[in-house]
Amino acid sequence: MVEGPSREVDRRGLHSILKRRGFFWPSFEIYGGVAGFFDLGPLGSLLKDNIERIWKQRFVVEEEFLLVDCPSINPEAVFKASGHLEKFSDHLTRCQDCGVPFRADHLLESLVKNPDTLDKEELEEALTQYGVACPDCGGKLGPLEEFNLMFSTHIGPGNEKRAYLRPETAQSIFLDFNSLYRFNRERMPFGVAQIGRGYRNEISPRQGMIRLREFHMAEGEFFYDPEEDTFPRFERYRDKEVPLVPNTDPERTISRELGSAVSEGIISSRVMAHFMGATFSFAEDIGIPKEAIRFRQHEASEMAHYAMDCWDLEVSTSWGWVETVGIADRSAYDLSQHSKGSGSQLTADRKFEIPVERVINRLEGDMKVLGPVLRSDAGAVMEVLSRMDPEFISSALETSETIPITVGDRTVEVPSNGIRIVKGTEKVHRESYIPSVIEPSFGIDRLMVGLLENNYREQAASPLSDDESEEPYRVISLPPGTAPIKAGVFPLVNKDGLPKIASEIDLKLKREGLVTYMDTSGSIGRRYARMDEVGTPFCITVDHDTKKDRTVTIRERDTGAQVRVGIDDLPELLNGLIHERVAFSSLG
């Protein structure tokens, strides 16, 4: 992740502003802090809200993803089936002198390319080869252990019901597939979205907001029929040109229209390409400049255990190119796993207007034989047989008199002569299948960092004539839609009734749902500076003319341009400016 050219941002300077001005700060500071946990302060929380609102507008309202909201605590069975219990782990080594634990691949970052793709043996080899010692005390490192990254807990009294905090919001969507498919009136394809927290018990996180143990995510799971050829909504993004770093040539960034990237085989499907387009547009919408974005394809060894293919949207930051969104092709992996794990079929139906011929190869029970022997179990056994793979018992059928079949939590011995294998072809009107899944998964915290760093600028000389400080003048040029505060409201002086008018305007704008900040202290220049530093796009000043003609000035942050407008037009005008229906340059 941390590779490539890093943006030249004074990270320390910016992040100290972000802390002081209430974007984010380390959690539990009065208790000494805990690595990997951050609080969003008042401006960070509003920024996150705005990003999530824009995400919902694109994915939930316009792409019609069904929004769900499920528990973050999940019982063990869920992660046993999903593979996280077995595979969601990192390799840990502890210093044998000071006892500090390290993530083995992180110790190799400056020595080996993509150390996170190495397996246990390769990591051990590389650590030995490069003679890596404890970076804290120089001590000898201990043997590698697999450390599962899920936080574990127990539900209810006693320790019998083990559970984990979700490492991703996706799993609950897969569990609910049948309910969601029914809710969608059994129509395919459809998407499901969830916004919420993910948890990852990192061994030793040391990268601020980039590597968190508790983080904010927004995920979409788009379920579709892999045999369906058409995907009309791709039209929306077919001509969109994006920068790509395919895994066939990871040193080079190429630029392609998404449609061409699919036809050239660079991107594996139109569904994948569609969500890459939607993701790129979303990143632009919230205000990350195009030049700071690229798509990088995972190398095979780098992919999560559930992924067939994965493209990351990376943003250029002071940490280098950082993965902020992963768009993974999870194929039928998860629905298959949970079907097996739970015994519930998670499938959709494919309907044919003209029946199609299908090769069949399945087991059937013979009720005449099974009924008298199995009595009340016969029905359930018939059902289980119809879902079993014939290969599984075909040889046993010839050699054994009975076959053990699991029904619920019991095993029933079923006479072989009551089971037959049916092969051949048949015409079907419908058949069930396991849908494929494309998952765009967004890391909201990283998006915030990328957004803030790429919109931050310092001017050596302060434009405030009355400012004698040595501090550079700082501006965060957030677009109006993402800016935490939409407008500052200032009375020019604190007398002559101006504060009262300003306060009425402030309240009126708040009642319209706009977050405003009334500021009565310091020079107007100082008040502009406070707002510029936190990304506020507009400032409204009430002056003596306001009392004569009920007009105020609006100033635009990036140009410093000012126009006079009527108080009564303000709510509608500001709403227009914020939703970018009105251009500031068209006023006055």
Of 143-151, 248-256, 280-288, 418-426, which segment contacts its own copies by CB under 8 A? 143-151
4 or 571: whose CB is closer to its own copies? 571
Q: Could you say whether residue 201 binds its own copies (CB under 8 A)?
A: yes
Which residues, listed in sequence order, are joined to residue 95 by a DSSP beta bridge?
141
Judged on CB neighbours under 10 Å (0-12, 13-18, 19+), 565 is middle
Strand intervals (E) in 333-408? 348-365, 402-407
Stretch that binds its own copies, among 39-47, 107-115, 125-133, 257-265 (CB under 8 A): 39-47
Q: Does 71 bind its own copies (CB under 8 A)?
A: yes
Residue 197 in contact with its own copies, rule: CB under 8 A: yes
- Give me the half-sphere count of Cα atoms (radius 13 Å) on the Cβ side of residue 113: 5
Comparison of 70 and 428: residue with beta carbon closer to its own copies: 70
Nearest of 408, 525, 414 to residue 463 by alpha carbon: 525
Extract the tokens encoding 280: 């790129």
The amino acid occupying position 469 is S
Which residues of 129-247 form beta strands (DSSP E)? 145-148, 152-154, 162-165, 190-199, 214-224, 241-245
What's 567's DSSP letter? Answer: G
Assess 515 for contact with its own copies (CB under 8 A). yes
Interactions with its own copies, residue window 317-376 (CB under 8 A): 338, 341-344, 346
Q: What's the CA gap between 485 and 56, in Å, rounded? A: 20
Residue 514 in the binding site for its own copies (CB under 8 A): yes
Q: How far is the CB of 121 from its own copies (least distance, A)?
A: 21
Question: Of these, 70, 254, 388, 567, which contacts its own copies (CB under 8 A)?
Answer: 70
- Tell the residue number behind the tokens 């006079």, with chain if given: 564
Q: Among 2, 132, 133, 155, indicate the residue that binds its own copies (CB under 8 A).
A: 155
**Bridge partners (DSSP) listed for residue 87:** none
Contact 194, 70 (CB under 8 A): yes
Q: Of these, 50, 74, 541, 546, which contacts its own copies (CB under 8 A)?
A: 74
Q: How many amino acids of this chain bind its own copies (CB under 8 A)? A: 85
Q: Which of residues 80-139 bind its own copies (CB under 8 A)?
A: 92, 94, 101
How near is the Cβ of 523 to its own copies at its closest, in Å?
Answer: 16
Q: Based on the shown chain and the rule CB under 8 A, indicate whether residue 6 belongs to the binding site for its own copies.
A: no
Nearest to 486 by CA among 531, 445, 440: 531
Instruction: For 112, list phi and psi in degrees, rounded to 5.
Output: -125, 145
User: For residues 548-587, which are near its own copies according to CB under 8 A?
Assistant: none
Q: What are the residues whose beta carbons fall under 8 Å from the beta carbon of 67, sequence distance 6 or more? A: 56, 60, 192, 193, 194, 195
Residues numbered 214 to 253 that lie near its own copies (CB under 8 A) are 214, 216
120, 140, 161, 526: which one contacts its own copies (CB under 8 A)? 161
To the nearest whole angstrom, how small is the minimum distance from the Cβ of residue 158 to its own copies?
A: 7
Question: Does the footprint of its own copies cover residue 165 (CB under 8 A)?
Answer: yes
* 8 Å CB contact between 58 and 64: no
Longest dimension (CA), the chain: 102
Q: Which of residues 168-187 bind its own copies (CB under 8 A)?
A: 172, 175-176, 178-180, 182-183
- Residue 48 in contact with its own copies, rule: CB under 8 A: yes
Interface segment toward its own copies; rule CB under 8 A; list 157-165, 223-231, 374-382, 429-437: 157-165
CB of 172 to its own copies, least distance (A): 7
Taking alpha carbons only, the member of 293, 312, 279, 316 closest to residue 243 is: 293
CB 40 to its own copies: min, Å = 4
Tell me the closest approach of the beta carbon of residue 580 to its own copies, in angstroms.
Answer: 13
